[in-house]
Amino acid sequence: MPPLSDRLRGGPRTRGERLDEPARPTEPVGNHVGWLFVPAEAVPERWRSRAAPMALVALLPEELSEILDGELALPALDPEDERILRLAARGRPVSAIARELGVSMRGAQYRLARLRRRFGAQSTSELAVMAARRGFK
């Protein structure tokens, strides 16, 4: 597999090319010759059909090493799942999670089981530790 810098910019850097210089595309992709990052509200109307939705996220050092080590990122969580992970990371018991969500104990247990499968946790305690390490506090 090529180095991450090559994969991110579409090809290897040439000798003497500085890393802080913008990458120059070596060949166009379709009719496109490159990409431009701009805030969504600054995209001109004529470009909107070609704009790809993006999110810029500041990474913590351990998250960067996970990405560089090849671990895959999980798809975004919905707000309800984030709330459950925050409660679990705080050590809240299932009964308290159910009460805060306004669902039955069985409903809370089902949602926690789904999150355990998603994160590969064997128990709710393990899920809580994983959530806390990922910043769900």
Q: Where are the domains of the chain?
A: 4-56, 79-133
Average pLDDT over residues 6-13: 47
pLDDT tens profile 56-92: 778 787 777 776 665 545 567 888 999 999 999 999 9
**DSSP character at residue 12:** P
Average pLDDT over residues 3-31: 49
Q: Of 3.40.50.720, 1.10.1760.20, 1.10.10.10, 3.30.200.20, which CATH number belongs to 79-133? A: 1.10.10.10
Global model pTM greater than 0.75: no
Residues 34, 25: contact at Cβ < 8 Å?
yes
Helix residue spans in the chain (DSSP H):
4-9, 61-68, 79-89, 94-101, 105-119, 124-133
